[in-house]
């Protein structure tokens, strides 16, 4: 792993575990076996590091959107699976993307907000497409989007892929619950097996 990538990985761990403000550059340097000063050969500030971790997480989440294919139900299922996979594989970065970003100050804060907004809008577009095709029945697109993101995001608090529940099982169960919330009947969604 390149030095800079290593720094970002450790920074993601520390920010997500202890919180951004509670993580000092000194501590970061210690975890990297570096002298405090030599960290600055690789990065300019702690805040820049925080934004960089947010960017890495955003990139992973945005890639999920790019990979979605098929009808609205297939896209929604892919979104659920992909989103939960990013959380499972990149827990520290995802935690920073969900929680620690707010400690940024302008203008870095604006970039983080824009990245988060871009992802939200992508999720919203998936739901909107389903509404327009008459597959999803939703009263309020914006609230439905926040609801879906809420249900997915919170898993960072409790889901651990090494636990008894596989990512596959979690994704299927969540996709079923979310599709039903969006007005898709289990019957349609499972292609008749159920009815």
Q: Which residues bind a second copy (CB under 8 A)?
A: 18-22, 98-99, 103, 137, 139-140, 143-144, 146-147, 149-155, 157-158, 165, 170, 173-174, 176-178, 180-183, 186
Nearer to a second copy, 108 or 148 (CB): 148
Least distance between a second copy and beta carbon 188 (Å): 14
Angle at 89 between CA 83 and CA 90, to 5 degrees: 85
Least distance between a second copy and beta carbon 34 (Å): 22
Nearer to a second copy, 6 or 161 (CB): 161
d(CA 45, CA 135) in angstroms, rounded, equals: 48
Residue 135: what are its φ and ψ, rounded to 5°?
-90, -40
8 Å CB contact between 153 and 115: no
CB atoms within 10 A of CB 67: 11
Nearer to a second copy, 6 or 128 (CB): 128
Nearer to a second copy, 35 or 45 (CB): 45
Name the H helices within the chain: 3-18, 25-31, 36-39, 46-66, 72-89, 91-98, 108-132, 141-153, 155-158, 167-181, 186-189
Nearer to a second copy, 4 or 30 (CB): 30
C-alpha to C-alpha distances, 113 to 13, 84, 130, nearest whole angstrom: 21, 21, 26
Least distance between a second copy and beta carbon 9 (Å): 20
């Amino acid at each position: 792993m390149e030095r800079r990538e290593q720094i970002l990985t450790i920074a993601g761990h520390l920010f997500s575990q202890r919180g951004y403000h509670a993580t000092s550059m000194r501590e970061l340097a210690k975890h990297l076996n570096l002298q405090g000063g030599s960290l600055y050969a690789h990065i300019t500030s702690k805040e820049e590091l925080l934004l960089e971790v947010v960017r890495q997480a955003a990139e992973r989440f945005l890639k999920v959107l790019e990979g979605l294919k098929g009808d609205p139900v297939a896209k929604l299922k892919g979104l659920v699976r992909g989103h939960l996979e990013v959380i499972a594989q990149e827990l520290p970065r995802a935690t920073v993307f969900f929680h620690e970003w707010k400690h940024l100050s302008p203008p870095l804060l604006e970039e983080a907000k824009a990245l988060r907004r871009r992802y939200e809008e992508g999720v919203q577009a998936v739901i909107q497409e389903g509404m327009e095709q008459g597959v999803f029945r939703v009263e309020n697109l914006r609230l439905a989007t926040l609801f879906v993101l809420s249900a997915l995001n919170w898993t960072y608090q409790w889901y651990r892929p090494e636990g008894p529940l596989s990512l596959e099982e979690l994704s299927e169960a969540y996709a079923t619950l979310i599709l039903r919330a969006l007005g898709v009947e289990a019957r349609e969604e499972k292609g008749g097996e159920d009815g």
